Structure 1
Amino acid sequence: MVGEKRKASSKSDSAKKRQAISFERKVSIIKQLDAGEKMVIVARAYNLNRSTVGTIYKQKDCIMEHVKGAVPMQSTIISKKRGKIIEEMEKLLTIWLDDQQRRRFPLSLLLIQEKAKSIFEDVKAKAGESAAKETFSASCGWFSRFKKMANLHNVSVSGEAASADTEAAERFPQVLKEIIEEGGYSAKQIFNVDETGLFWKKMPEKTYISHEENTMLGYKVAKDRLTLMLGANAEGSYKLKPLLVYRAANPRALKNVTKSSLPVIWMSNTKAWVTLAVFEDWFFHHFIPEVKLYCRDNRIPFKILLVLDNALGHPPHLNDFHPHVKVVYLPPNTTTLLQPMDQGVIANFKKYYTRRTYRMALKAVDSDPEMTLRSYWKSYNILNCVKNIDASWHEVTEVNLNAVWRLLCPQFVNDFRGFDQEGINKEILSTLVGRPK
């Protein structure tokens, strides 16, 4: 009887102590266990039963997935609708941040918060009336969680830091000049590459297609993104084969296509990013063989200088791996000031790509009375994209490729009068006037 009373008393005490455990505490428990802390010690620290802590850890994947949806951690109930909207916003925000990071564009907390709110409103509008009451303030608490999830560091840049970057950019060309003179490199032997995100189905905002993306259910062509890495030598006489990183390894459009026959180097990962592994693969298996063959065909010494920025996907140790390839890194946060491919090559390439894609669409519409721009655009696949990338890359001129070195290596740059970017933009927008939708 005494034993039964004790058991009953124990059950009663347990029922009284039972309380909801917030996601914040659950995440904290999971992190401590992942760090190697014993389950008994963690349970004692949070005044919980060992079995409760064990159950929480068994649900680790589910809990962390919900946290990624940015649901307030103080809540113990998951709001699926809000989670989906914010999750979509954070995915798009991460893509945007990645693009700015590769360009070494200084981002403040306020700028990121404003961008997050802007993307949230766009996603909310596309969700329709069911999400009309959803709100998002981009609070510091949200940013703190998002920062950890996205592995962001030093997002706030002060005036002194920006000033220091400018000073570093002013000093570095002389440092590079000394390296070039000491190594005896010519403009033919100096290369630069840079990555950029390409929304390969995105059209200018002034076209009806972009407007329809906000109103048509299931019509989200602008979100399909890939990463391109473009590069050439300082003389502008040789373009490297573009590296393309896509989210799918074997998309349907390439079902019967041999990837080695493509005019791009095809690689893939779920985020379509140039990671350390992707870059090292490209460097050893594509860049070195390609420039070695280029030097042999042009009867110049196989001695290459590769200029890179400090993007996260660029391994810091490449200079140690090949005796004939020297790698020089730009100073941190000087990409927008010095990176050659970022001084006009990538921007012009994207304009050529958009113009060429428009021309293809209009040609298809003109040749088939039943064809509309909308139907053509839905049928435009990744293989069409690859072909247009190749053609647009060929459109980038030698003069363009040489001129972008004017800040980094002015000694190699010939006379240049500038790019006709405004003319390209006007041509793109004028082609759709009076066209069928």
Structure 2
Amino acid sequence: MAMASNTSSPKRKPLTLQQRVEVLRVHDQTKKSTRKLAEQFNCGKTQIDGILKRKREIMEEFENNAPLDRKRARTTGNEELNMLLWEWFKDATARKLPVSGPMLQVKALEFAKELGRDDFKASNGWLGAFRKRHNIKFGTMSGEKGDVSEEVTESWKERLPQICEGYDARDIFNMDESGLYYRASTDKTLYAKGDDCSGGKRSKDRVTIAYCANLLGEKEKPIVIGKSKNPRCFKNVDKDNLPVHYYNSRTAWMTGFIFEDWVCKFDRKLGRAKRKAILFLDNATCHPDLRLKNLKLVFFPPNTTSVLQPLDQGVIQTNKLKYRRRQLSHVLAKMDEDKTLQGPEILKSTNVLQAIYWISYAWNDVDPSTIVKCFNKAGFTVTEPQPPQTGEMAEEDTTPVRVETLCMELFGCELSELVEIDRELATCNNESRMVGTAAELLSNLRPSTDEAETSDEEDEAATVEQPAKQVSLREAGSCVETLKDMCLGSNYGEMLDLIMMFEAKLAVKCAESQQLARQSTIHEFFGKK
């Protein structure tokens, strides 16, 4: 095909919604090839292929009277730039290149510079309009099952037994990260650009969680990465006693420094137990290939984690569902306590410490059998019997009606849909080769130690990040008595057993405290001159 002239030939434009529907109609009736359809509609074969692949989405958009392409094209003033970017996007996705929100923005700025458009900012609003106009969903932009090579995955699964040879099932681990909007305080969260989290208010409402579990469903303590080194709510809190490993970075992303610190500690833990283990990871830039004494790191093939990564087969989604259920139950309880409080107000008051408690609770409540099934789905096999589940408080399998109703009122969606809001939230900087100087990249990778920055963030959320209250052993004991009375009066037998276990541990701590106090008094007495 002859090259188009830069001066005489008109620029090829993407097909409008009505034209795309017409392409589908003609294809259904005539079964024409993509080449003939491209000739008939004067567009590229890649565009026709994309239309045929997205048939269901295009028809849904048409039936729902989605925004008209031509009307928007007349009003944006970015017609040429948008056309160039759309052509670039089609080419990139056709070649199976991973494309995300920031990548589109960076490419748009490059095109704007070439076109002399110094006023173009590639804002989040522009990105949202561009995605909506072309029906681009995060699920179709990178790493989806439809883009995974079956040949690569089958080859991997065939080699998997050999890779795992010599390791017990309890020593075969998978670790994976996921982003979380821990407040999720408005319905706009549902449409937030997940990858755009390097700055702004929304980035302060997110954390990154890293989960790790083995082939038997045994779970390691999760990692939680926030932006602030010392959130206001951590005052009076010893971070070593948190139910998670807490780290911080400027973007609340996983970084190479954080990963190396955690994985080295995990390696030493295995060494103390005289265990040799293998850890499966995706090949993200934040996962350096380290040589460790007791832990071997193995990376999945590129762009296959949606099929091969066990935790991505339903474990993380199950955990998030439990988190959201816990979060909304908390809102209901607060509204019952104080009739003047509104749901959005309560959600906004959620701090990092509260989120950590819910994250830990949700992770502990994930049934080991769920993890085992997801390992099996990813091609791993369990050759040892699964250990029995011990003493965990399991939430109900069904969501209470009040929780579902509240979810619909606050977010305009069902609880199962709310789980999806942060599915594509970035967890590390995988585009370091495209954007930023070396100094900026190093700044993003290193943990934040700038106390002034931390203080600014805390001041902005001062009404939210309240310091943790110090509670004495005596005060805790009186609370235990109140909880026991509640259980006895309400027939909560299972809960009473747990409280009795806590009371026993509390008694040990009280005895240790009294012993230390007596020793201190004796030393002071004999130390007097």
Asked if 1:356 corresponds to 2:326, the answer is yes
Aligned-residue offset at 1:363: 0.7
What residue is the counterpart of 1:234 in the other structure?
215
Structure 1 counterpart of 2:303, from 333, 343, 348: 333
Partners of 1:199 and 1:347 lie apart in 2 by 14
Please give the TM-score of this superposition, normalised by the length of structure 1.
Answer: 0.54
Structure 2 counterpart of 1:275, from 241, 255, 260: 255
What residue is the counterpart of 1:20 in the other structure?
none
Partners of 2:158 and 2:100 lie apart in 1 by 34
What residue is the counterpart of 2:268 in the other structure?
289
Asked if 1:224 corresponds to 2:238, the answer is no
2:375 is paired with a residue whose SS is coil
Partners of 1:204 and 1:135 lie apart in 2 by 17
Structure 1 counterpart of 2:162, from 178, 181, 187: 178
Aligned-residue offset at 1:364: 1.2
The code of the aligned residue for 2:214 comes to N
Structure 2 counterpart of 1:193, from 153, 175, 200: 175
Matches within 5 A, 1:103-114: 107-108=98-99, 113=104
Partners of 1:247 and 1:412 lie apart in 2 by 38
What residue is the counterpart of 2:292 in the other structure?
321
Change beyond 3 A, Cα 1:393–1:115: farther
The code of the aligned residue for 1:201 comes to R
Change beyond 3 A, Cα 1:390–1:340: same
Asked if 1:365 corresponds to 2:340, the answer is no
Partners of 1:409 and 1:349 lie apart in 2 by 21
Aligned-residue offset at 1:368: 2.2
2:163 is paired with a residue whose SS is helix
- Structure 1 ranges of 4+ moved more than 3 A: 105-117, 134-140, 155-159, 203-206, 219-223, 289-293, 407-410, 420-428, 431-435
Structure 2 counterpart of 1:166, from 143, 146, 150: 150
What residue is the counterpart of 1:252 in the other structure?
232
The code of the aligned residue for 2:301 comes to P
Partners of 1:106 and 1:245 lie apart in 2 by 28
Aligned-residue offset at 1:383: 0.9
Aligned length: 275
* 8 Å CA contact 1:202, 1:221 repeated in 2: no
Change beyond 3 A, Cα 1:235–1:116: farther
Change beyond 3 A, Cα 1:425–1:274: farther
Give 5+ residue unaligned stretches, structure 2: 1-95, 109-120, 131-139, 192-199, 387-394, 411-529
Aligned-residue offset at 1:139: 12
What residue is the counterpart of 1:308 in the other structure?
281
Aligned-residue offset at 1:108: 4.3
Matches within 5 A, 1:19-418: 107-108=98-99, 113=104, 136=126, 162=147, 165-181=149-165, 183=166, 185-202=167-184, 205=187, 224-236=205-217, 238-285=218-265, 287-292=266-271, 296=273, 302-316=275-289, 318=290, 320-322=291-293, 324-412=294-382
- Cα shift readout 1:307-361 (whole Å, capped 9, x = no counterpart): 1110110002x2x221x22221111111111001111111111111000000011
What residue is the counterpart of 1:93 in the other structure?
none
1:411 is paired with a residue whose SS is coil
Aligned-residue offset at 1:291: 3.8
Aligned-residue offset at 1:221: 6.4
Change beyond 3 A, Cα 1:157–1:405: closer
2:150 is paired with a residue whose SS is helix
The code of the aligned residue for 1:321 comes to L
- Cα shift readout 1:120-153 (whole Å, capped 9, x = no counterpart): xxxxxxxxxxx9xx9848999xxxxxxxxxxxxx
Aligned-residue offset at 1:254: 0.6
Partners of 2:164 and 2:170 lie apart in 1 by 12
Partners of 1:433 and 1:337 lie apart in 2 by 31
- Cα shift readout 1:230-286 (whole Å, capped 9, x = no counterpart): 0100110x211111111110010111111001011111111111111110011112x
- Cα shift readout 1:24-45 (whole Å, capped 9, x = no counterpart): xxxxxxxxxxxxxxxxxxxxxx
- Cα shift readout 1:91-140 (whole Å, capped 9, x = no counterpart): xxxxxxxxxxxxxx9534899649999xxxxxxxxxxxxx9xx9848999
* 8 Å CA contact 2:184, 2:347 repeated in 1: no
Aligned-residue offset at 1:288: 1.9
Partners of 2:241 and 2:154 lie apart in 1 by 42
Partners of 1:204 and 1:398 lie apart in 2 by 33
What residue is the counterpart of 2:404 in the other structure?
429
* 8 Å CA contact 2:204, 2:227 repeated in 1: no
What residue is the counterpart of 2:33 in the other structure?
none
Aligned-residue offset at 1:177: 0.6
1:230 is paired with a residue whose SS is strand
What residue is the counterpart of 2:80 in the other structure?
none
The code of the aligned residue for 2:212 comes to G
The code of the aligned residue for 1:179 comes to I
* 8 Å CA contact 1:203, 1:354 repeated in 2: no
Change beyond 3 A, Cα 1:112–1:397: same
Give 5+ residue unaligned stretches, structure 1: 1-104, 118-130, 141-154, 212-218
Please give the TM-score of this superposition, normalised by the length of structure 2.
Answer: 0.45
Change beyond 3 A, Cα 1:369–1:425: closer
Higher relative contact order (CA 8 A, sep 6+): 2
